[in-house]
Structure 1
Amino acid sequence: MSFDRAGLEQALSERREVARVVVAETSGSVPREVGAAMLVWPDGQAGTIGGGALEHDAAARARAGERGLRRVPLGPGLGQCCGGAVTLLTEYWTAADLGGIEGDLVVRPARTEGGAMPLAVRRLVADMRSGAAPPGPALVEGWMVEPVTQATRPLWIWGAGHVGRALVEVLAPLPDLAITWVDTAPERFPDTIPAPVTRLVAAEPTVAAAHAPVTAEHLILTYSHALDLALCDALLTRGFARAGLIGSDTKRARFRSRLRDLGHADAQISRIRCPIGQKTLGKHPQAIAVGVAAEILSAPMGTAEIRDTA
């Protein structure tokens, strides 16, 4: 987990102050890991630290103005079955606070009394400035240390219809994905788009495809079979890490034949997975999105290519 600056920026764009509750330490069986966080404001919240009684209690305390560190034994304290304990840090952020963050590491005192930065924390900061990989989120001698979210997997979603919207809704919260969402006109997109997602209006999507990184993953689900085919052709020419195409077994067979006629080899055509998702989950847009999300989470970059199911 890491510090989601984009999500906090979005929340602060609509309100003056937002409480942030982050899991600072854990012991035993707990619902979420260190670094899991949620944002809380008077009439809403975003993110999760595990749900249930822990989250309900933490949100209520944040709205009441509690701040600083608090250790919560989940069994005796909240009657939860996990049996472990979590230490929560509750703090309040404004746009000015967020603007003061520099670099890829967010470091601040977790205790209200503050104090000088400990030597261990100074060493972590110095190591990062020297090129070391960012540390994981941790509470270090009373200071909270969190790397800033850095999306490492470019994912292009082609189409803003029902399935495209369901995919963005499910995939946008995943911290590793840098999502570019493409369609042919602005009115095809919803009014509100999650902060980490980049909207790209492209009257000619195949031209945009030529500018996608060759390391990108693609999900093709436009309103037009002709456009789907043109995008498959463009991406096979451009190169990609993985690609998936919405459709049926019949669509896959027809596209295979047409892409072969366009000069693409079977081995390359087979790199485009069709259908996407998991058939056993059904064809509802959210069901497709859940199946695709499972595939993405279970196939990190660097693993074998996704082949079609023929």
Structure 2
Amino acid sequence: MTSPETMNWHAALHRLQLEARPHALASVVGAAGSTPREPGAKMVITADEIYDTLGGGTFEFQVIDAAREALATGKTDTRLEAFPLGGRSGQCCGGYVHVLIEVFAGAEMNVALFGAGHVGQALAGLMAPLPWRVLWFDSREDAFPAESDSQPRLSCRRIDQGPDGPDLRGSVASLPAGSHVLVMTHDHGEDRQLIDALLTRGDCASIGLIGSKSKWASFQRRLRDAGHDQSSLDRVRCPIGISGAKGKRPYEIAIAAVAELLTLKSTGNQDDHRGVPPEKLRDVFADTSAKRSSS
């Protein structure tokens, strides 16, 4: 666990936002009586790290537990937690604190890109500013551009070489569940093996294969022989790219492919009522004001 003194909350928040890693921001928004910290104090919590402090003690551990419970749901939401320090938190200062916990789920989507050729490099550049986590694979040495290391949400992974060639199935097995996958290697044999492994795995959010309709027709014959039925094959998009897009330049293909991914991006379970309900906020601040008046 990272010590709260290692990095302050705003530096941690900036880094985690850049890396699109799941995290929660806990802010003291109301206090009455004697409390460890004043309103405006903040800390950042991830599944295994904490940054900054709300004053320590049982109260802070309860905030961390509440934040991690919220992070475990995978949803981006906002919740308001009440901590009576003499009751719920068992601290001797006896005050009352309200903490707003804002959850940031990290990357909006995970994209696995197989192939670092001209189209792959154009795609990686286009996806870099987006809040997506990109896993970029290639079996060749020195396939990735040197500047790739400077992109915080991009992870370049050389495919391990096994006794029978690149360990494509191992790379597919390493993907997070629900990934959107684009296959565009330098070798049609690798492309076909990847599609086979992805369909066998069966839990990808989407699978796109670069190439023509004739390429896909040829692949389908081999994939049926490998045991994949038509409903499975229908999950693969080939050619890739948003409908109606024209152009065969690498950058044009990449733009069409990213636009298509945007149409596939999940919007989650959006509700008309987001954040903390207004009536709860009214009750909270009325309660806090009453406690201040009586102290």
- Cα deviation code 1:128-155 (max 9, x no counterpart): 852446568xxxxxxxx98657114221
| CA distance 1:259–1:190, shift in 2 (3 Å) | same
Supply the AA of the counterpart residue of 1:151: A
Q: Distance in 2 between matches of 1:230 and 1:103?
A: 36
Query: Which among 236, 244, 260 is matched to residue 272 of structure 1?
Result: 236
SS at match of 1:227: helix
C-alpha spacing 1:134/1:224, structure 2 compared with 1 (3 Å): closer
- Of 140, 147, 157, which aligns to 1:200? 157
The 1:168–1:299 alpha-carbon spacing in structure 2 relative to 1, beyond 3 Å, is same
Q: Residues 37-76 of structure 1: matches in 2 within 5 Å?
A: none
| Cα distance change on mapping 1:265 and 1:188 into 2, 3 Å | same
- Which residue of 223, 240, 255 maps to 2:186? 223
Q: Is the 8 Å Cα contact of residues 17 and 106 (structure 2) preserved in structure 1? A: no
Larger C-alpha radius of gyration, 1 or 2? Answer: 2
Q: Structure 2 vs 1, CA of residues 4 and 231 (structure 1 numbering), >3 Å: closer, same or farther?
A: farther
Instruction: Give yes or no for contact 1:7–1:196 (8 Å, CA) kept in 2.
Output: no
Say whether residues 1:5 and 2:47 are aligned partners.
no
Measured in 1, the distance between the counterparts of 2:226 and 2:18 equals 46
Amino acid at match of 2:234: S
Percent identical: 36
Shift of 1:281: 2.7
For residues 281-296 of structure 1, the aligned pairs below 5 Å read 281-296=246-261
Q: Which of 199, 220, 229 is matched with 1:236 structurally? A: 199
Residue 253 of structure 1 is aligned with which of 217, 224, 227?
217
Unaligned runs of 5+ in 2: 1-12, 29-36, 43-53, 55-61, 79-100, 269-295
Query: Residue 163 of structure 1: which of 105, 112, 119 is its match?
Result: 119
Which residue is equivalent to 1:68?
none
**AA partner of residue 211 (structure 1):** S
Q: Which residue of 2 aligns with 1:174?
A: 130
The SS at the match of 1:286 is helix
Alignment partners' CA distance in 2, 1:221 and 1:201: 15
When residues 148 and 162 of structure 1 are mapped into structure 2, their CA distance, relative to the original with a 3 A threshold, is same
| Whole-angstrom distance in 2 between the partners of 1:164 and 1:106 | 39
Structure 1 consecutive aligned stretches of length 4 or more whose deviation exceeds 3 Å: 6-9, 119-122, 126-129, 131-136, 145-149
Aligned residues: 195
Name the aligned partner's letter for residue 282 of structure 1: G
1:244–1:276 Cα contact (<8 Å) kept: yes
Distance 1:6 1:297, change over 3 A: same
- The aligned counterpart of 2:46 is none
Secondary structure of 1:188 counterpart: coil
Cα gap change, 1:290/1:127 in structure 2, threshold over 3 Å: closer, same or farther?
farther
Residue 154 of structure 2 aligns to which amino acid in structure 1? V
Structure 1, unaligned runs of 5 or more: 10-101, 109-115, 137-144, 304-310
2:143 corresponds to? 188
Higher relative contact order (CA 8 A, sep 6+): 2
Amino acid paired to 2:24 = D
* CA deviations over 1:61-92 (Å, ceiling 9, x no partner): xxxxxxxxxxxxxxxxxxxxxxxxxxxxxxxx
**Structure 2 counterpart SS, 1:104:** strand
The alignment's C-alpha RMSD in Å is 3.6
Q: CA deviation at 1:270?
A: 1.1
The reply to whether residue 263 of structure 1 matches residue 273 of structure 2 is no
**2:113–2:183 CA contact under 8 A, matched in 1:** yes
With over 3 angstroms needed to count, the CA separation of the structure-2 counterparts of 1:258 and 1:6, relative to structure 1, is: same
Deviation at 1:301, TM superposition (A): 3.1
- Maintained 8 Å contact 1:106/1:148: no
Q: Which residue in the other structure is 2:24 paired with? A: 104
Measured against aligned partners, the alpha-carbon deviations of 1:79-118 in whole angstroms (never above 9, x if no partner) come to: xxxxxxxxxxxxxxxxxxxxxxx9532869xxxxxxx853
> 1:297 maps to what in 2?
262
